Structure 1
Amino acid sequence: MPDIPNLPGMGNPPDTPTQLSVVVGRVLKYALRATDGLTVEQLCDTRGGITNSIGWDVWHVVRTIDNIIHFVFEREQPVWLQHNFHERWNLPRVDQGTGQDPRDAYAMRFPPPAEFDEYTRAVEAAVVPRIAAMSEAYLREVQVIRPWGPVPRIEAILHGLIGHGNGHLGRASYARTLFGLPGLPY
């Protein structure tokens, strides 16, 4: 059996905000691992225009986490806009990829992985402690989130950030193996 390192953040207190913050933090650590060791060409490769690139999947995961925690929950400016990543990289200002035309997604070009990771690290620094500080009552509050409709915030985090995010990162993990690189340690 291969030696699989311990998942980051295992064995934390069982309260809901701590668990959610640790697991969202783990998703962001996996996003960083997904880009590790890639060239720009590998980060942006769409297999001849038939699938999203690793860059797109990681960008979409991190943008979704950033957008839901900052803008959707609190109507605050996401890290994406605070740091002008959209301008620096000539990428969409508001869109995060949900419902994006595949041709537009395949055409997106991302900066070198080390630069790209700046955004993931900035979101991790902003979001993980914020989720840890959320109260149980705050997490139970229902709000309308497009395209899902009215959902409790805890469900938005569990589904939109963790479940959905890991689905995209699974695709990135598979794409890494096609490049002969190790996949993610799920």
Structure 2
Amino acid sequence: MNVSELLADALGRVREQMPDLVAGLSDDDLAWRPDPEANSIAWLVWHLTRIEDDHVAGVTGTEQVWVAEGWAQRFGLPFGVHEHGYSMSAADVGKVRVSGDLLTGYYEAVAARTAAYVASLGPDDLDRVVDAAWDPPVTLGVRLISVVNEVNAHLGQAQYVRGLLERR
């Protein structure tokens, strides 16, 4: 297995699980939170997708799918177009009320762009510094592993919230 296959597999697993995560849930279900400070499924899926979109756009030097393909307008959220949810207040988390079709459509668009990008990578690409503001500087490999970690962590959280929703 080469590096692009490894990354494609790691991120592809999220892509495979996304439709089932939101299947059959209403907008109210997706926005449900186990308590007022908790994250909803809608927010978790939006956030993990925004992070992948933001980070991959950053390393490719391209515009985010969120903006380039009009997803920001379709979602109609009351945030700036570069918002991705990091350190959001509980009140802002509650403002993410969207349909499962919208969430999966946006994730699919981002995942397709990411898959095309990682398919082009070779081992030497991973050592390229993509963010020199850190000590040590962040390489492409480290940034992509951060994406894998972030999307998997939030996918698991969203699956847990769905389990709570189904048992309430």
TM-score class, shorter-chain normalisation, is 0.7 to 0.9
Mapped partners of 2:166, 2:132: distance in 1: 39
Instruction: Report sequence identity in percent.
Output: 24
Aligned length: 165
TM-score, normalisation: structure 1: 0.80
- Specify every segment of 5 or more residues in structure 2 that has no aligned partner in the other structure, as ranges: none
Which has more helix, going by share of residues? 2
RMSD: 2.1
- Flag as ranges the 4+ runs of structure 1 deviating above 2 A: 28-33, 145-150
Q: Does 1:50 align with 2:37?
A: yes
Q: Does 1:135 align with 2:158?
A: no
Q: Which residue of 1 aligns with 2:162?
A: 176
Which one of the candidate residues 134, 137, 153 is aligned to 1:150?
Answer: 137
Instruction: Specify the SS of the correspondent of 1:47.
Output: coil
Any idea what the Cα deviations from partners look like across 1:138-174, whole Å, max 9, x if unmatched? 221122188897211111111x211121111111111
Amino acid at match of 1:121: E
Which one of the candidate residues 84, 87, 97 is aligned to 1:96?
Answer: 84
Mapped partners of 2:44, 2:135: distance in 1: 20
TM-score, normalisation: structure 2: 0.87
Amino acid at match of 2:74: R
Distance 1:37 1:89, change over 3 A: same
Map residues 38-117 of structure 1 onto 2, 5 A cutoff: 38-70=25-57, 72-91=58-77, 92=79, 93-110=81-98, 112-117=99-104
Q: Does 1:125 align with 2:112?
A: yes
